[in-house]
């Protein structure tokens, strides 16, 4: 059984629905209870979910954020329990300083993002200017264990065409600083301004992967290896593949579904590699186009079908993903749970659809944030 871990980034907001830079203060409150760290200078806390048995609250790039990582989990039941627990503990820490947390991937209301104090984050802000200054986004990263880097790279090569479908399923950022972005996941658009983000070509083997990382560092453009922001990457510290394309899910149950799908994708890809099946020879430009389309329409329009490279109804493409990983889900005992979770998202809608419904009813973006706070903890 492959282990799985999940990291979530959450927005810190005041009772009116406005994001507030109280993340560091909330972390101080959490640290007094042994539940948080106040300073993280190495990497952007990636790997807290897949490698640290002591899950905790940690800082993120912006002071209007909190992040946590689950334990290393063997089952989706464990993932679900940890997500509920740490969402509650994050909210408790925020309440200690007069705020709340919301699982929103962007700020619906106008806000001035403030960089969290610390040498690394300050260097990022100085180096990348407006890209870093305005980067108030919250994602969900899923780590799944692999045997070694060779298996991990084989997995990366084979899951790349399916990752845009995960973006569509988790879309939760339709509004951006007071405006309707006309996207379901505008976080994906904002995130791809980083020079090291997005989909990759096929690597072929671990040596090629690591050689590329060295080449990126040699350009002296990114601050460190923590800024290798590929859509999916090998963990630098732990034997996992990390999938990074998802918005933070408004509903915790959707994050559990995501974790199940990612584990299914990893196990399916590893099985194909062992069987000698080649990775789909799809150009990176096509994958990027599919990712853009998923960000734009979410589940309300058409997605690029990985098998054909042509547009198809979102439900059809999502169903194709489910069928692709169904044997792996069955082997893990996750088939019924994940299939039900996918059906629920297709019927109920994504976080982006929820936000737009609330805005249509109220005409108030702050009301969207307040409704999201309740949905985060429901």
pLDDT > 70: percent of the chain = 95
pLDDT, position 50: 39
80's tokens? 């679900």
Q: Which residues contact 31 (CB under 8 A, 6 or more apart)?
A: 37, 38
SS (H, E, C) 63-108: CCEEEEECCCECCHHHHHHHHHHHHHHHHHHHHHCCCEEECCCCCC
Q: What does the alpha-carbon distance between residue 31 and residue 40 come to, in Å, rounded to a whole number? A: 13
What are the backbone angles phi and psi of residue 352, rounded to the nearest 5°? -60, -40
Higher pLDDT, 49 or 348: 348
| Tens digit of each residue's pLDDT (9 = 90 or more) over 170-229 | 999 999 999 999 999 999 999 999 999 999 999 999 999 999 999 999 999 999 999 999
Mean pLDDT, rounded, for 346-369: 98
**Cβ atoms of residues 26 and 33 within 8 Å:** no
CA–chain centroid gap for 222, Å, is 20
Q: What does the alpha-carbon distance between residue 196 and residue 68 come to, in Å, rounded to a whole number? A: 23
pLDDT at residue 47 greater than cutoff 60? no
**302 burial class (0-12, 13-18, 19+ CB within 10 angstroms)?**
middle
pLDDT, position 48: 37
This prediction has a pTM of: 0.95
pLDDT at residue 231 greater than cutoff 70? yes
Give the SS3 label for residue 63.
coil
Q: What does the alpha-carbon distance between residue 60 and residue 138 come to, in Å, rounded to a whole number? A: 9
Q: Which of 257, 52, 280 lies closest to 156 in space, CA to CA? A: 280
**Cβ atoms of residues 125 and 136 within 8 Å:** no
Q: How confident is the model at residue 49 (pLDDT cuts 50, 70, 90)?
A: very low
| Tens digit of each residue's pLDDT (9 = 90 or more) over 108-157 | 999 999 999 999 999 999 999 999 999 999 999 999 999 999 999 999 99
Mean pLDDT, rounded, for 248-277: 98
Instruction: Name residue, tokens 């005992």.
Output: 333
Q: How confident is the model at residue 37 (pLDDT cuts 50, 70, 90)?
A: confident
Angle at 378 between CA 109 and CA 73, to 5 degrees: 105
What are the backbone angles phi and psi of residue 234, rounded to the nearest 5°? -80, 140
Q: Which residues contact 247 (CB under 8 A, 6 or more apart)?
A: 105, 138, 139, 140, 167, 170, 171, 172, 173, 185, 187, 188, 351
Give the SS3 label for residue 236.
coil
Q: What does the alpha-carbon distance between residue 32 and residue 350 come to, in Å, rounded to a whole number? A: 36
pLDDT, position 72: 96
Please give the radius of gyration of the chain, using alpha carbons only, rounded to the nearest integer: 19
Q: Which residues contact 319 (CB under 8 A, 6 or more apart)?
A: 342
pLDDT > 90: percent of the chain = 93
78's tokens? 């464990």
Q: How confident is the model at residue 39 (pLDDT cuts 50, 70, 90)?
A: low
Over the chain, what is the mean pLDDT?
A: 94
Mean pLDDT, rounded, for 16-40: 90
Q: Which of 184, 190, 177 lies closest to 113 in space, CA to CA? A: 177
pLDDT, position 343: 98
pLDDT at residue 240 greater than cutoff 60? yes
Q: What is the DSSP string of 24-50?
A: HHHHHHHHHTTSB-S---STTSTTHHH
Which domains does the chain carry?
4-376 (3.30.590.20)
Mean pLDDT, rounded, for 32-58: 60
Mean pLDDT, rounded, for 333-337: 98
Q: What does the alpha-carbon distance between residue 18 and residue 367 come to, in Å, rounded to a whole number? A: 10
């Amino acid at each position: 059984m492959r282990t799985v871990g999940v990291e979530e980034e959450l927005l810190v907001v005041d009772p009116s629905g406005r994001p507030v830079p109280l993340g560091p203060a909330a972390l101080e409150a959490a640290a007094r209870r042994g539940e948080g760290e106040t300073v993280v200078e190495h990497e952007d806390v990636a790997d807290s979910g897949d490698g640290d048995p002591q899950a905790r609250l940690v800082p993120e790039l912006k002071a209007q954020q909190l992040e946590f990582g689950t334990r290393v989990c063997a089952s989706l039941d464990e993932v679900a329990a940890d997500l509920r627990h740490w969402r509650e503990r994050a909210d408790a820490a925020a309440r200690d300083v007069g705020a709340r947390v919301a699982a929103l991937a962007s700020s619906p209301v106008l806000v001035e993002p403030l960089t969290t104090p610390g040498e690394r984050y300050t260097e990022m802000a100085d180096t990348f200017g407006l890209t870093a200054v305005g980067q108030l986004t919250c994602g969900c990263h899923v780590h799944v264990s692999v045997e070694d880097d060779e298996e991990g790279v084989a997995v990366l090569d084979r899951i790349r065409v399916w990752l845009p479908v995960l973006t569509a399923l988790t879309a939760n950022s339709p509004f951006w600083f007071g405006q309707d972005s006309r996207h379901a996941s505008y976080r994906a658009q904002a995130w791809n301004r980083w020079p090291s983000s997005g989909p990759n070509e096929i690597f072929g083997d671990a040596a090629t992967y690591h050689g590329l990382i060295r080449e990126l560092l040699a350009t002296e453009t990114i601050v460190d290896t923590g800024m290798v922001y590929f859509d999916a990457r090998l963990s630098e510290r732990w034997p996992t593949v990390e999938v990074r394309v998802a918005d933070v899910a408004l509903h915790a149950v959707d994050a559990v579904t995501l974790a199940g799908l990612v584990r299914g994708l990893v196990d399916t890809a590893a099985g194909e590699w062992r069987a000698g099946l080649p990775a789909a020879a799809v150009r990176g430009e096509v994958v990027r186009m599919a990712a853009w389309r998923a960000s734009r329409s979410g589940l309300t329009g058409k997605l690029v079908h990985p098998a054909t490279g042509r547009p198809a109804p979102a439900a059809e493409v999502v169903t194709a993903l489910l069928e692709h990983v169904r044997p792996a889900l069955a082997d893990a005992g996750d088939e019924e749970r994940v299939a039900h979770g996918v059906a629920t998202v297709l019927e109920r809608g994504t976080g982006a659809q929820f936000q737009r419904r609330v805005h249509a009813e109220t005409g108030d973006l702050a009301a969207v944030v307040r409704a999201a706070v309740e949905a985060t903890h429901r």
